[in-house]
Every structure is written in C-alpha cells, then in structure tokens.
Amino acid sequence: MRLILLGPPGAGKGTQAQRLVAKYGIVQLSTGDMLRAAVKAGTPVGKQVQDIMARGALCPDDLVVAIVGARIEEPDARKGFILDGFPRTVPQAAALDRLLADKKLNLDAVIELKVDEDALIRRIESRIAEMRARGEALREDDSPEVLHKRLKAFRELTAPLIAYYRDHGTLRSVDGMASIEEVAAQIERALPKEAPKQAPQQPSKPAARSAGSTGQMGAQMAAEIGKKSRTRTAKPRPGAAKPGRK
C-alpha cells in the first residue's frame, strides 16, 4: 500500500501515519524527519538546510525528490510506504508521478486531513506553551512565528495539491479535527478495499529526469541520509496523544 497524507503542520499526519504503519506493516517516510536527522548529525547537507528549516521555508525540490527516490528503493519500503511531508508542491507531485511510473508503481490513495486553521493554531500554541512549562526541549521550528509562516506556505504552495489529486481521482478527505481514533476510522473507510495493480510497463526515462533535476546536492543528500533512515519511523514527541497533534 502506497499512500500520501496531506494536511497543514500540526494536522496529525504523523500520528495517523504511525497507526497505519503498525496495522499494515509499511514504513513512514517523513522528509522532515530525514532532513532533521541530517541537521542533527551536522552533515554538509544538514548545515545547508538548517537555516531553511528554522525559518519554516521549503527545502529545494532536487534535495527532497532525491531523498525520496533513494528511500523507496530500500528493502523495508517494498511492501508499501506512507509519504508524510512530500510532495509539498504541484511540481513535486508531478516529479513523484514520474518517479513512481519509472518504478512501475501507483499511489493507492491521497488522504487529506481537513482542519480549521484558527483552531489548529490555538491547539499548537497551547501545546508549545505546555511543553515549555514542563521544561521539555523544543525544535527550532517549534514557535508560533514559524508556525504561521509554515501555514502560509501550506496555503500558497501545498493546498493546490488538493485539486491536483482530486483531478487524478486519488484524493480522499477526512475530518482532521476529530479525535485521533475517529480520524483513524475515517482513514480506514477511505482506503481502497483492494490496492490497484501496478502501473503497466512503460519505457523507462533516465532516472535523473524522472525525479527532476536532482543534481550533485541531491545525490549527496541521498547518500548521507538514505542509510540512516532505512529503519527509521517517526516517534511522537511528548504530548503526542493529544487529538490532531502531528
């Protein structure tokens, strides 16, 4: 099973992905986690993207497409995967389509977690305040200011993906403001009863074209992070049991 979870920051994509991983034995591929791992490790690419991530901006397409292309080749992703945080833009979605077509694969569904943005902001600001009160560590991008920038980026760049996947017939929408259990039940009902067969074989395009122009920096990213993320699945931060938290 191959899925995409769509929704703004804090919509609960990570929480729902973990449930799907446990139920179906597939892997969660979070580009955010893989990029943060590179930052924490202090790799050359990690240093390049650290400031971008801290500002809540989007990383270059060639980096993200390269890391995804390398990661889905790993043995643990053969049974299926959930993409969390990718694609973020329509050009990335088109690059993913080409990437999967070259590998003779199809997406089974794109799940949109619909949320009320004002309520989401209040929820996340409250969570951040609680974590600070408990003395828990926050990520660099855990701040109300960065959250507002990420939501703005989502509206401008990622929201058009909803129309893109609706036109492709793969979009399924659920109420992301419901409880964690109810959101999970809605997702289960939205999944196809039988996964579609693999795409018919087509002449393969050169790998560099199928994933967009990955370039030298993209290749470096795949080499540095592909191995580190082979067995990685995202773990919820403290407080993840709260409804809708990513």
Give per-residue pLDDT as tens, 53-95: 777 777 788 777 777 887 888 899 988 999 987 898 899 999 9
Instruction: Specify if 85 maps to a domain.
Output: yes
CA 122 → CA 119, 170, 211, distances in Å? 5, 31, 37
Angle at which helices 61-71 and 215-225 cross, to 10°: 40
Instruction: Specify if 41 maps to a domain.
Output: yes
Instruction: Specify if 195 maps to a domain.
Output: yes
Q: Is 172 annotated as catalytic?
A: no
Summarize the confidence of residues 145-159 as an average pLDDT: 82
Contact residues for 246 (Cβ-Cβ < 8 A; gap 6+): 9, 10, 11, 12, 13, 14, 15
Q: What is the mean pLDDT of the chain?
A: 77
Instruction: Specify if 239 maps to a domain.
Output: no
CATH of the domain at 158: 3.40.50.300
* CA quadruple 27, 28, 33, 35: dihedral, nearest 10: 70
Q: What is the pLDDT of residue 124?
A: 76
Task: Name the catalytic one among 2, 71, 88, 123.
Answer: 88
What whole-number distance in Å separates Cα of residue 128 and Cα of residue 139? 10
What whole-number distance in Å separates Cα of residue 97 and Cα of residue 92? 9
Instruction: Specify if 111 maps to a domain.
Output: yes
Q: What is the pLDDT of residue 40?
A: 84
Instruction: Specify if 35 maps to a domain.
Output: yes
Structural domain containing residue 66: 2-200+207-225
Q: Is 134 annotated as catalytic?
A: no
Neighbours of 77 (CB within 10 A): 16
Instruction: Specify if 11 maps to a domain.
Output: yes
Task: Name the catalytic one among 150, 172, 245, 246.
Answer: 150
Tokens coding 176: 């992301």
Task: Name the catalytic one among 40, 139, 155, 230.
Answer: 139
What whole-number distance in Å separates Cα of residue 182 and Cα of residue 77? 27
Overall domain count for the chain: 1
Q: Is 88 annotated as catalytic?
A: yes
Task: Name the catalytic one among 2, 71, 123, 127.
Answer: 127
Q: Is 127 annotated as catalytic?
A: yes
Instruction: Specify if 232 maps to a domain.
Output: no
